[in-house]
Amino acid sequence: MAKFMNIVRCKVKSSSRDEYLKKINEMPKFDGQISAKYVETKTNEFFMIGEWNSEDDIAKARPKMIEFLDILRHTLDELSPELGVTDPHSGTVVVEK
């Protein structure tokens, strides 16, 4: 069975950085999630990279992920009117080294 990944970009309000980092640090892994890594690519711009056992696992966890996003939403800047506060992508791992 192929692993599945999700990658989500967001921008955190400068005034909310500490709160954002505290909440993501306290967040437990979701069922079916292998790992979650948060990478700061620019000041207050983060990418969350999640590794999952399967596409079904991430689909099952999606409602809980949205609940978690809802407690963070006030800490995030809008990326664009079309995207809102996150830019999510996901797919099957095709090469792993």
**Domains plus CATH for the chain?**
4-92 (3.30.70.100)
- pTM score: 0.89
> pLDDT tens, 27-63?
989 999 999 999 999 999 999 999 999 999 999 999 9
Q: What is the pLDDT of residue 28?
A: 87
Residues 74-94, mean pLDDT to the nearest whole number: 96
Query: pLDDT at residue 95 above 80?
Result: yes
Q: Which residue has tokens 């207050």?
A: 44
What's the Cα-to-Cα distance from 60 to each of 7, 11, 12, 30, 33, rounded to whole Å? 17, 26, 26, 9, 11
Going through the chain in order, the beta strands assigned E by DSSP cover: 4-12, 33-42, 45-52, 76-77, 87-92
